[in-house]
Amino acid sequence: MVDFVPDVTKINNDQFAKFAVMNDEGTLSEIYERTLKMSQVMQSELPDDVKQKIEHFQSLLVTKTVKTDLITGDKVEVSGPSPLVQIYNEKMAAYDAAALEYNSYRIDALSADNPKAVQYWAINAHILRDKVRAAMADWISSGYKNDYEQIAAYISQVEGRDLTLLKQQYYDDLDKAKLTGLASGSDFYYHALVPGSFATSTGWSRFSFSSGDFSRHSNSQFDSSGWSAQASAGFFGFGAHGGGSHSEDKTTFDGSFNSDSFGLSFEIAQIPIVRPWFKSSYLVSKTWRFDPGNPDMKNDLLSDGGSPPKGLMPAYPTSVIFIRNLNMEIGHSEGFDHFMSEHSSSSQSGGGGFSFGPFSCGGSASHYSTHGNTERDYGYSWNGHGLSVPGMQIAGFKCHVLNMKSPNPSPDIKSWV
């Protein structure tokens, strides 16, 4: 639901009630993956003395031996861990075993399942701790712990300045985040909402909107990244959505209601979207470009930096806006009463919910699990002058706009790879 690219070129009054999504270029993850595959980065050369030092350190970590292929008889050079690395790993395993033993007895004592575990920890904890300290000392003195980690840290720090390796690391992070759907069998990339317990959390903010607020904001103007839009009272228009299993009927309520008696309240929470594989810093860096030798990509831009911006990825969602316990006071309206009566009749014959601006009222959803499909109805209550929707729903998304040109490579870079 959050793997999409918003269409920011349609910031207008209709945008308040309908969220526009760019579908022609693919999902956010597909565009990001294509960007990594089809891009070039600045080529960087390490000094000769640094290269020689890295080669020396790598020879201390890797041993090359010549083996004879049993089938062909050919001589084959095989790389493997050096004696230094083998001893390091052996001493590390001994330390890990001692530390796990110490933690295991400590957990048993903390859980207090039986008195023996508590007494064992009280009497023998210092002995178990001594084993951990001895294992660490042996790892340092005989296992080359400090030497190995200093060598590894130096190689990692120097090679980390190589953008080709950094880009490969980004691509590895993306590949590790690939999951496979149970129902479809197709791949998708990991996304998460944090914290995961937000739906049952008590940390939601209460929001209310009175008739006076409606009068002040019914006709307003806002500015977004350099381009403006008008918001009129049409924000509170009604659009009905219904239909059975094979068709969908759409009707629109074009009547009006008395804004003097209007009231709106709900609880709201903004929940961040987490994508560990998505490196936004790469998108705005001046050290990459699309491969000019690829005719499909050389003229493409993620964003042209315009107002509003256009491109493959002019924006991306960063948070989801959830609301719950929605209550609306509309007052008496014969036209809306008639609309609600017709909607109730169509709902009983297979109709769905209807929308009130960005808010959903009623409807149903299908959820797939290993136990099969589950249909759930999300109801509302109408008492003749007000609506109440107790369930949780998505009211919108917070998006980050790439209001700069991307890619925008530095003209000083002469070598690309």
pLDDT 10s digits, 273-323: 999 899 998 999 999 999 988 887 767 899 999 888 889 999 999 999 999
In a domain, 166, yes or no: no
Q: What is the largest CA-CA distance in the chain?
A: 93
Domain boundary among 161, 195, 217: 161
Write out the E strands in 136-249: 178-180, 187-189, 192-193, 205-209, 220-224, 227-231, 238-241
In terms of pTM, does the model score above 0.75? no
Domain boundary among 161, 185, 200: 161
Note whether 274 and 400 are same-domain residues.
yes
Check pLDDT > 80 for residue 250. no
Q: What is the pLDDT of residue 4?
A: 92
Question: What is the rounded CA–CA span in Å between residue 357 and residue 19?
Answer: 11
Which of these ranges, 91-95, 124-128, 233-237, 323-327, has the smallest mean pLDDT?
Answer: 233-237
Shortest CA distance to 351 belongs to which of 221, 208, 270, 247?
247
Check pLDDT > 50 for residue 151. yes
In a domain, 167, yes or no: no
Supply 195's token pair. 């914290």
Note whether 12 and 143 are same-domain residues.
no
Q: In degrees, to the nearest 5, what angle opens at C-alpha 195 toward C-alphas 272 and 358?
A: 50
Note whether 275 and 128 are same-domain residues.
no
Domain boundary among 128, 161, 194: 161
Question: What is the rounded CA–CA span in Å between residue 55 and residue 168?
Answer: 21
Domain membership of residue 74 as a residue range: 49-161
Note whether 151 and 293 are same-domain residues.
no
Note whether 386 and 350 are same-domain residues.
yes
Note whether 196 and 156 are same-domain residues.
no
